Amino acid sequence: MATKPGKQARETKKTPIKIKINGQWHEFEPGRDIVPEMTLSYLLREKLGFTGLKVACDEGACGACTVLMDGKAVLSCMKLAAEAHGHEILTIEGLPEDDPVIRAFVAQCEPGYGTALQCGFCTPGFVMAAKGLLNENPKPTTGEIKEGLSGNICRCGCYSGIARAVLHACEENKGGKPRSFGSMHLPIGPSVRLPASTSRPKGRGKP
Ligand code: FES
Ligand code: FES
């Protein structure tokens, strides 16, 4: 018996891929919105505009693309977007500004350890990797922090500062006093305001 066109269309309609991203469920049509080979990093950055995560190596070697999946740190360049079906993804955009890890990274500037960020390219990956680590182990030792973040690379070499920042975030998690940005002694000069007429190069790439 011939199948009516409407019925056939209903039968061939594919089950949507549902992913909760930063607290909001998104629905994607397989084949149209998400093709089988699409990575989670591509979906998040290029399709949805969550450009906080960076794609540097695109082969699981640098940690720049780290996000949380159900609270655990994952490399989004090594996950297929379709694998996230039914899961909860958190990117750095989903963290509140006063998150203890973010505060600690921004405030870190102790002599002898240095800052936790210079160019900042690796920072979202380190912050999300640290969040994943603290979810599993809220009181890690310095050794455990080093081990936990060993999959992330910082080209600026801020490793000591990053480890210190994560230690301070743990202290704040444990009820310690939040670190104040106001009393920071920044190891850099004051910012310089450019005259309005100064022309700036206009990059076209995504941040
Ligand atoms: S971009 Fe994913 S690990 Fe380097
Ligand atoms: S702060 Fe520049 S790569 Fe880490």
Q: What pLDDT is recorded for position 171? A: 85
CA distance 82 to 36: 7
pLDDT digits (tens, 9 = 90+) for 133-184: 999 999 999 999 999 999 999 999 999 999 999 999 988 765 555 554 433 3
- From the CA of 77, how far away is ligand 1's center (Å)? 6
Choosing from 55, 109, 113, 156 the residue with most ligand 2 atoms within 8 A of its CB, the one to mutate for a pocket test is 156
pLDDT digits (tens, 9 = 90+) for 87-101: 999 999 999 989 999
What are the DSSP E strand ranges found in 41-158? 66-69, 72-75, 88-90, 109-110, 114-115
Distances (CA, A) of 178 to 104, 134, 205: 9, 17, 36
pLDDT(113) > 70: yes
pTM: 0.81
- From the CA of 33, how far away is ligand 2's center (Å)? 33
pLDDT digits (tens, 9 = 90+) for 114-124: 999 999 999 99
